[in-house]
Structure 1
Amino acid sequence: MILSRRTLLAGLAASGASIPAFAQSAPEPQLVPIELVEDTLALPSAVTLGHKHGDVIMIEYFDYNCPWCKKSAAELPQLLKAEPDLTYVLVNFAVLGIPSVTATKAALAYLQVHGPDAYLPLHLALFKLKGAVDGARVMKEAERLGGDPKRLEEAGNSERTTQWMKDTLKLGDSLGFTATPSFLVATESYVGGMTLAQKREAIARARG
């Protein structure tokens, strides 16, 4: 989804533009500084899936209210199965309005309380929801998965969570990510939705 973005957080949020048709061709890869990839991997809010030390690292910046991120999430288990040597990293990038901001706060609270190994079931569950996803809906799903409401609320309202979100937004801006989802594959960025086949092509490209 293409963004029309204003400054986010502290009550300010971006507004999403109209949804384009899903791209038939993959976004054009752009070379990015290795330092920005390393900074992304160092984000405490980043969730690592798949191979812990894969031969290729693919990073997805996503928003829980992005329709193409929903498609990406639905195909994620298949991608991880097809690419056992891939390290896949999820980065919450709340840019599509206030519901996304509150959803990300709750999701990051779950990450802090339950750890990265427990995050994928929540991630997939949230993308199966119909309609707008906000903090209340994330909390409901988190509790269904065994989350403690009091601990989740405390973590979500913490300064640490706010700082995690600010750091991610700053880094996403530095990478020039103007759409969700956006991807980093090795040291190349792809801004916009990618099919499963297009992702695998990008991974193969990174392997040379």
Structure 2
Amino acid sequence: MILSRRTLLAGLAVSGTGLPAFAQAAPEPQMVPIELVEDTLALPSAVRLGHRHGDVIMIEYFDYNCPWCRKSASDLPALLKAEPDLTYVLVNFAVLGIPSVTATKAALAYLQVYGPERYLPLHLALFRLTGAVDGERALKEIGRLGGDLKRVEEIANTDRTAQWMTDAFKIGDSLGFIATPSFLIATEAYVGGMSLAQKREAIARARG
């Protein structure tokens, strides 16, 4: 997977650990083409959680080494409980260097082997780790969850997995996502961290 220097450097700057967990104000929404939202939902790597056919779809582009994404993940169970009619979609967007790329390869391989129904426990487990999260640490968590490490590692290194990552990166780049997390709600994009309350406000606005 080849990352654009612009996106990688911007992502490193905005997602750095020296920044506060969340800004006081939610990021300003920007309108995006509906085609790019549809392209995101069509990604085979997109993981749907919550309501199967929700009245609102919220999409998160994330990186396993992003501290703001860690906070977003910790809020996710509460969000899904509070918003039972929400469809929440996770998109792996490995822009923060080689450790993120290798962790994402392992995570996407797990997704291919075990399906979206078993993905959330891995997602939350990886964000509970402290320090850099790479492929080796991701595989350790997969093993702890009972995954077949040999099979997962084989699939992690396939062209299919690499293509899944490339496809997500291209769409995220087209959306102007220069940082993680970035969100899509309806045809509005939010670049930057959002608290649980800010997410719920954006969801309510999408419902009109």
User: Structure 1 length normalisation: TM-score?
Assistant: 0.93
Match of 1:111 in 2: 111
Runs of 5+ consecutive residues of structure 1 not aligned to the other structure: 1-6
Q: CA deviation at 1:14?
A: 2.9
> Are 2:47 and 2:116, in contact at CA under 8 Å, matched by a contact in 1?
yes
Match of 1:8 in 2: 3
Q: Distance in 2 between matches of 1:200 and 1:153?
A: 37
Q: Distance in 2 between matches of 1:95 and 1:28?
A: 22
Match of 2:59 in 1: 59
SS at match of 1:94: coil
**Equivalent residues in 2 for 1:166-181 (5 A)?**
166-181=166-181
Deviations along 1:158-190, one digit per CA (max 9) or x if unpaired, are 000000000000000000001100000111000
Q: CA deviation at 1:20?
A: 2.6
Deviations along 1:12-66, one digit per CA (max 9) or x if unpaired, are x935124432210000001111110000000000000000100000000000000
Q: Distance in 2 between matches of 1:150 and 1:98?
A: 21
Match of 1:20 in 2: 19
Match of 2:200 in 1: 200
Runs of 5+ consecutive residues of structure 2 not aligned to the other structure: none
Q: Percent identity?
A: 78
SS at match of 2:184: strand
**Equivalent residues in 2 for 1:1-208 (5 A)?**
7-8=2-3, 14-15=8-9, 16-17=12-13, 18=16, 19-21=18-20, 22-208=22-208
> Are 2:8 and 2:178, in contact at CA under 8 Å, matched by a contact in 1?
no
Q: CA deviation at 1:149?
A: 1.2
User: Structure 2 length normalisation: TM-score?
Assistant: 0.93
Q: 39-48 or 146-155: which moved more?
A: 146-155
> Are 2:61 and 2:182, in contact at CA under 8 Å, matched by a contact in 1?
yes
Q: Distance in 2 between matches of 1:100 and 1:92?
A: 9
Q: CA deviation at 1:128?
A: 0.3
The aligned amino acid for 1:20 is: L
Deviations along 1:55-88, one digit per CA (max 9) or x if unpaired, are 0000000000000000000000000000000000
Q: 196-205 or 146-155: which moved more?
A: 146-155
**Paired residue total:** 199
Match of 1:4 in 2: none
SS at match of 1:45: coil
The aligned amino acid for 1:207 is: R
